Amino acid sequence: MRMIERWFPCAEVSEASAGGWGSGKSEKALFTWFAARPLAQAKAAVLTSLLPWPEDEAEQARLQKLVRDAMMGRDAKHAELVAELAKAYPDGASLLDLFSGRAMIPLEAARLGVEAHGVDYSPVATLAGQLLADFPLRDWSGEPPLPFASEGTIDVSGSRLLDDVRAVLDEVGRRYAMAMADAYPLVRGRQPWGYLWAVTLPCEECGNRFPLTGSLVLRHPLLVKNDPGQSYRIEVDRAAGTFRTVIHEGPQSGQPTLIATMRGGKAVRGKSAICPFCSHVHAKATHARLMAEGHGRDALLVAADLDPAVGKSFREPTPRERTAADDATGWLAAESEFARGIAAVPDERIPAGNNHTVRPSFTALGPMATSATPGRPSALSASRGRSTNSDPSLSSTDAATSTPLPSRGTPLQCWSARSSTRLEEQRLYRTSDPQAIGSSRTTYSLMKPVLPSPMITLRRG
* Residue 206 and residue 61 share a domain: no
Instruction: Mark which of 383, 414, 441 sits at the end of a domain.
Output: 383
Phi, psi (degrees; rounded to nearest 5) at 136: -65, -20
Give the model confidence (pLDDT) of 88-98 as tens digits: 999 999 999 99
Q: Residue 112 — left, alpha, or beta (φ > 0 → left; ψ -120 to 50 → alpha)?
A: alpha
Report the number of distinct structural domains present in the chain.
2
Provide the β-strand partners of residue 248: 231
Per the structure, the complete domain to which residue 29 belongs is given by 3-139
**What pLDDT score does 372 carry?**
29
* Residue 120 and residue 202 share a domain: no
Chain-centre distance for alpha carbon 373:
28
Between 330 and 458, residue with greater pLDDT:
330
- Residue 449 covered by a domain: no
Between 69 and 382, residue with greater pLDDT:
69
- Cα atoms found within 13 Å of the Cα of residue 41, Cβ hemisphere only: 13
Q: Are strands 242-249 and 230-237 parallel, antiparallel or unpaired?
A: antiparallel
Count of C-beta atoms within a 10 Å radius of residue 167: 19
* Residue 121 and residue 200 share a domain: no
333, 264 contact by CB (below 8 A): no
- Residue 423 covered by a domain: no
Q: If you count them, how many residues does the chain have? A: 461
* DSSP category for residue 309: T
Dist CA 400 CA 127 (whole Å) = 18
Chain-wide mean pLDDT for the chain?
76
**What pLDDT score does 354 carry?**
64
- Residue 456 covered by a domain: no
* Residue 200 and residue 116 share a domain: no
* Residue 227 and residue 119 share a domain: no
**What pLDDT score does 305 carry?**
95
pLDDT score of 424 more than 50 = no
* Residue 336 and residue 215 share a domain: yes
44, 55 contact by CB (below 8 A): no
Q: Which amino acid is at 363?
A: T
59, 164 contact by CB (below 8 A): no
Chain-centre distance for alpha carbon 389:
18
Residue 211 DSSP SS3: strand
pLDDT score of 441 more than 60 = no
**What pLDDT score does 381 carry?**
33
Highest mean pLDDT among 114-118, 243-247, 380-384: 243-247
Alpha helices in 249-318 (DSSP H): 284-292
Q: Residue 56 — left, alpha, or beta (φ > 0 → left; ψ -120 to 50 → alpha)?
A: beta
* Residue 348 and residue 226 share a domain: yes
* Residue 107 and residue 241 share a domain: no
Terminal Cα-to-Cα distance of the chain (whole angstroms)? 28
What is the pTM assigned to this prediction? 0.55
Q: What is the CA radius of gyration of the chain?
A: 29
The angle subtended at Cα 331 by Cα 326 and Cα 336, nearest 5°, is 155
Lowest mean pLDDT among 9-13, 44-48, 63-67, 175-179: 175-179
- Residue 205 covered by a domain: yes
- Residue 174 covered by a domain: no
Dist CA 277 CA 235 (whole Å) = 9
Rounded mean pLDDT of 6-21? 94
**What pLDDT score does 150 carry?**
62
Cis peptide before 147 (omega within 30 of 0): no
Give the model confidence (pLDDT) of 129-144 as tens digits: 888 888 888 888 888 8
Q: Are strands 456-460 and 115-120 parallel, antiparallel or unpaired?
A: parallel
pLDDT score of 49 more than 60 = yes
Dist CA 284 CA 268 (whole Å) = 10
* Residue 237 and residue 119 share a domain: no
Count of C-beta atoms within a 10 Å radius of residue 254: 15
Q: Are strands 281-282 and 297-307 parallel, antiparallel or unpaired?
A: unpaired
Instruction: Mark which of 139, 161, 185 sits at the end of a domain.
Output: 139
The angle subtended at Cα 97 by Cα 94 and Cα 99, nearest 5°, is 170
* Residue 97 and residue 15 share a domain: yes
pLDDT score of 159 more than 70 = yes
Between 452 and 316, residue with greater pLDDT:
316
Minimal CA–CA distance to 27: which of 139, 81, 103, 116? 103
119, 459 contact by CB (below 8 A): yes
**What pLDDT score does 408 carry?**
34
* Residue 201 and residue 132 share a domain: no
pLDDT score of 333 more than 70 = yes
Dist CA 202 CA 284 (whole Å) = 14
Dist CA 461 CA 269 (whole Å) = 45
pLDDT score of 166 more than 80 = yes
**What pLDDT score does 290 carry?**
93
* Residue 253 and residue 120 share a domain: no
pLDDT score of 172 more than 90 = yes
- Residue 303 covered by a domain: yes
251, 221 contact by CB (below 8 A): yes
- Residue 38 covered by a domain: yes
**What pLDDT score does 185 carry?**
92
Give the model confidence (pLDDT) of 337-383 as tens digits: 888 888 888 777 666 666 554 444 443 333 333 322 223 333 223 33
Phi, psi (degrees; rounded to nearest 5) at 134: -105, -65
- Residue 176 covered by a domain: no
Instruction: Mark which of 336, 353, 383 sits at the end of a domain.
Output: 383
278, 203 contact by CB (below 8 A): yes
